[in-house]
Amino acid sequence: MGICIPSLDGAVNLAIAADLVDLNSQIQSAKGQTSSMQRIRKHGKLIIGVKDNLPPLGFRDRQQNMASKLMGLEIDIARELAKELNLGLELLPVTNRDRLSVLQSNQIDLAIAQITVTTNRSRLVDFSLPYYTDSTVLIAPRHISISELQQANIAVLKNSTAIAAIQWKLPRAIIVGADSYQAGLAALKKGTVQAFVGDRSSLTQWLLDNPDYQITGQPLALHSLAIALPRGLQHLELREAVFAIVEKWRKNGWLQNRIKYWGL
């Protein structure tokens, strides 16, 4: 008796056909357009969205005025990327709220601004290989142990993905929503909460400035930061170039050296 191998059903065939139509429409729309890499070379510079208030990723020297030079891990990455591509560079500070929208509207060529790779974001933009693995950590006064935080008030940004990690690791803790890092850390210093949860990279400088506090326990979660690039076939040459450069940095140790330099 022979084995019957079922054919693809109609729904699957329709899905494949829809994907092919979508790909074909992308190809047709890209025809006749100047590629983003051609446009960038014509202008002679990359425009990169960065943070200017987040040490040690991207910030200005606090001893200088607001016009002082940008510095940090992500600033180093932006400068080295422009150097690798033999292009000039314009750094444009962006907010968390706007960093993807200005990329999608072509106000910047790419963004290196503490952007975590997520499934939802991958539907909107493309990503390079990760340049840094960040962690979600819990900070508290040095005299408080992790066991004492089992039923404590813990502040975290409202709607943060870290809320699920807290609920998993500390299910009896009381989660207090904060509007910003500043608000959550202020509540911690006032004692209205006993701990604050956030990204290690965002808390590095604060911990240096506040030695009475420390990271308590193990990281609650890990997440990758990567360069965000616009989607579309007209951006393919730019994406491939950036991907190759980041891959080289990961292999030759340049990224690890800069991460170590900035104390991450």
Residue range 188-199, pLDDT digits in tens: 999 999 999 999
% pLDDT > 70, the chain? 85
Residue 131: which region, alpha, beta or left (left: phi > 0; alpha: psi -120 to 50)?
alpha
User: Is 19 a residue whose pLDDT tops 50?
Assistant: no
Better-predicted residue by pLDDT, 8 or 64: 64
The tokens describing 186, both together, are: 């202020």
What pLDDT, in 10s, does the model give residues 138-170? Answer: 999 999 999 999 999 999 999 888 999 999 999
| Spatial CA neighbour of 135 closest among 220, 262, 259 | 220
Place of tokens 């004692």: 191
Domain range list for the chain: 34-134+223-261, 139-222
Q: Mutual orientation of helices 36-43 and 236-252 as an angle, nearest 10°?
A: 80
What pLDDT, in 10s, does the model give residues 98-136? Answer: 999 999 999 999 999 999 999 999 999 999 999 999 999
Which pTM was predicted? Answer: 0.79
User: Is 15 a residue whose pLDDT tops 50?
Assistant: no
Confidence class of residue 59 from pLDDT cuts 50, 70 and 90?
very high
pLDDT score for 36 = 87
Place of tokens 């006032």: 190
Confidence class of residue 16 from pLDDT cuts 50, 70 and 90?
very low
pLDDT score for 14 = 46
The span from the CA of 34 to the CA of 66, in Å, is: 36
3-state class of 27 per DSSP?
Answer: helix
Q: Do 34-134+223-261 and 139-222 fold alike per CATH?
A: yes
Place of tokens 């910003």: 180
Residues 6+ apart with CB under 8 A from 52: 58, 59, 60, 70, 93
| AA identity, residue 220 | L
Residue positions counted in the chain: 264
Task: Name the E strands within 158-194.
Answer: 174-178
Average pLDDT rounded to a whole number, residues 21-46: 70
pLDDT score for 33 = 66
Mean pLDDT of all residues in the chain?
Answer: 87
The span from the CA of 159 to the CA of 50, in Å, is: 23
Q: Which fold has domain 139-222?
A: D-Maltodextrin-Binding Protein; domain 2 (3.40.190)
The span from the CA of 204 to the CA of 199, in Å, is: 9
Place of tokens 């991450």: 264
How, if at all, do strands 126-141 and 221-229 pair? antiparallel
User: Is 25 a residue whose pLDDT tops 60?
Assistant: no
| AA identity, residue 101 | S
Instruction: Please state which CATH class domain 34-134+223-261 belongs to.
Output: alpha beta
